[in-house]
Amino acid sequence: MFEKLLGEAKGIFNIITIIDLVISILFVLMGLILFSSPNMSNIAASILCGFLLISNGASSIYSYIKRGSIDLFNTNLIFGIIFILIGVVALFSGKILSIILGIYLLVIGGQKIYYGILLKKFNESSWLITVVFGALLIIISIITFFTSGEFVVRVSGICILGFGIMNIIDTLLLRRRSKYFIA
CA dist., res. 49 & res. 17, Å (int): 21
Tens-place pLDDT, residues 20-31: 788 888 878 888
Confirm if 81 and 61 have CB atoms less than 8 A apart.
yes
Give dist(CA 123, CA 118) in Å, integer: 9
**Whether pLDDT at 39 is above 70:** no
pLDDT digits (tens, 9 = 90+) for 58-98: 888 887 887 655 555 667 788 888 889 888 887 877 666 66
pLDDT at 183: 47
Work out the pLDDT band at 1, boundaries 50, 70, 90.
low
What confidence tens digit (pLDDT) does each residue in 131-163 have? 888 898 888 888 777 776 677 677 777 777 887
pLDDT in tens, 98-111: 677 777 788 888 88
Q: Distance between CA 40 and CA 59 in Å, rounded?
A: 27
Asked whether 178 and 13 are in contact (CB, 8 A), the reply is yes
Please report the DSSP string for 65-134 in residue order.
HHHTTSGGGTTHHHHHHHHHHHHHHHHHH-S-HHHHHHHHHHHHHHHHHHHHHHHHHTT-TTHHHHHHHH
